Amino acid sequence: MKDKNTIQKEIHLSGIGIHSGKNVDILLKPSSSGEIIFRRTDVGNVELTLDPNKIETRNSTYITSKECKIQTLEHFLAVLYMFSIDSLIVEINGDEIPIMDGSASPFVQAILKAGTKQIPEKKKDIKILKPFSIREKDAVVSVSPDPEFKITYSIEYDHPTIQKQKVSMSVNLDNFVTEIAPARTFGLLKDVPALRDMGLALGGSLDNAIVLDEKGVISGPLRYPDEFVRHKVLDLIGDLSLLGSPLMGHFKAHKAGHWLHLKAIHFLLDSPEFWSYV
Ligand SMILES: [Zn+2]
């Protein structure tokens, strides 16, 4: 059993939503409820909680209800998971978590500055007991037992800067902060018109994403040569956090994305024989 935690002080952040293109403020407030509660202050203070049945994906991971949605949760949720923050009120005056610089580092810095503290509530780990795989065409998520939380991610892009990239690691707060959180989201310039036609990437820019044309990166230097696959690890951590517990298992993903991460989560929730609380 591990302690649940909240933050010590309020945190205010603001910025543009990468998909909505709108400016948004978020105010994180300490809480002793033992839950992460999102409150849409621009929609009559409607509250949303992270029920996996209310999560959908469309180029980001978002939560939806009758009244409203909040999109691009994944980088923010990855940081809460890694800092073991399970008790928080997130007031937000728009429908998207700000993209900041495209990475999770601004959220990391804000939480390091505010500090965390335990609340008098405990949580159980989820331990994977049996291996399984979820496939869709050539994308795979495979999960197997492991005494630690490990991620192996591989991607293949028909692009000279990305090509094949793979990273494998035991995930802990130290290596998350230095190796994963700074990795930015990325996109191909040629995909932008189609995304914008769908109402996506309206706030995307050279300042909040790695942007590639046919030849290479046009948004400045990479933070790591394999920043692309490191960002996929960040996305996977954020999505897996929807299980609501610290994880003991090895999660391997190949050419996957939010939609397949979510399928693996639903498989686990529907298949209690594959895991147990410890
Ligand atoms: Zn991402």
**DSSP per-residue string spanning 138-194:** TEEEEEE--SSEEEEEEEE-SSTTTSEEEEEEE--HHHIIIIITTPPPEEEGGGHHH
Closest C-alpha among 151, 172, 180 to residue 249? 151
Band of residue 1 on the pLDDT scale cut at 50, 70, 90 = confident
184 pLDDT higher than 90: yes
Unique residue bearing structure tokens 């978020």: 26
- Catalytic one of 19, 231, 254, 258: 258
Average pLDDT over every residue of 247-276: 98
Residues 134 and 42 in one domain: no
CATH of the domain at 139: 3.30.1700.10
**C-alpha to C-alpha distances, 205 to 23, 37, 99, 192, 202, nearest whole angstrom:** 14, 29, 10, 10, 9
- The span from the CA of 163 to the CA of 152, in Å, is 17
- The span from the CA of 183 to the CA of 229, in Å, is 9
Can you give 210-254 as a three-state secondary structure string?
EEECCCCECCCCCCCCCHHHHHHHHHHHHHHHHHCCCEEEEEEEE
**Beta-strand pair 61-64/69-70:** antiparallel
A 10 A CB-CB count for 120 gives 8
- Catalytic: 19? no
Residues 140 and 265 in one domain: yes
In angstroms, what is the span from residue 171 Cα to ligand 1's centroid?
Answer: 17
**Beta-strand pair 186-188/210-212:** parallel
SS3 state at 205: coil
Q: pLDDT tens digits, residue range 126-178?
A: 999 999 999 999 999 999 999 999 999 999 999 999 999 999 999 999 999 99
What's the alpha-carbon Rg for the chain, to the nearest Å? 18
Structural domains in the chain (count): 2
In angstroms, what is the span from residue 116 Cα to ligand 1's centroid?
Answer: 24
**Beta-strand pair 2-7/55-57:** unpaired
Residues 79 and 144 in one domain: no
**C-alpha to C-alpha distances, 6 to 11, 31, 168, nearest whole angstrom:** 12, 6, 29
Residues 158 and 217 in one domain: yes
In angstroms, what is the span from residue 160 Cα to ligand 1's centroid?
Answer: 21
- As a whole number, the mean pLDDT across the chain is 97
In angstroms, what is the span from residue 120 Cα to ligand 1's centroid?
Answer: 32
Residues 24 and 101 in one domain: yes
Q: In 34-146, which ranges are continuous DSSP H helix?
A: 74-82, 105-114
> What pLDDT, on the 0 to 100 scale, is given for residue 26?
98
Q: pLDDT tens digits, residue range 98-125?
A: 999 999 999 999 999 999 999 999 999 9
Residues 90 and 174 in one domain: no
Please check whether residue 24 is in contact with residue 93, taking contact to mean a CB–CB distance below 8 angstroms. Answer: yes
Percent of the chain beyond pLDDT 70? 100
Q: Which amino acid, one-letter code, is at 41?
A: T
Q: pLDDT tens digits, residue range 68-81?
A: 999 999 999 999 99
Write out the two tokens for 265.
């989560």
In angstroms, what is the span from residue 232 Cα to ligand 1's centroid?
Answer: 7
Q: Which of 80, 105, 123 is the last residue of a domain?
A: 123
Query: How many helices (H) does the chain have, and how many strands (E)?
Result: 6, 19
**C-alpha to C-alpha distances, 253 to 139, 165, 173, 204, 264, nearest whole angstrom:** 8, 12, 20, 26, 10
In angstroms, what is the span from residue 148 Cα to ligand 1's centroid?
Answer: 23
In angstroms, what is the span from residue 257 Cα to ligand 1's centroid?
Answer: 9
Average pLDDT over every residue of 213-221: 96
Residues 133 and 264 in one domain: yes
Residues 142 and 260 in one domain: yes
Query: The domain containing residue 197 runs over which residues?
Result: 126-277
Average pLDDT over every residue of 55-60: 94
CATH of the domain at 11: 3.30.230.20
Residues 116 and 55 in one domain: yes
Residues 6+ apart with CB under 8 A from 96: 17, 18, 19, 20, 22, 24, 70, 71, 72
Q: Which of 123, 144, 174 is the last residue of a domain?
A: 123
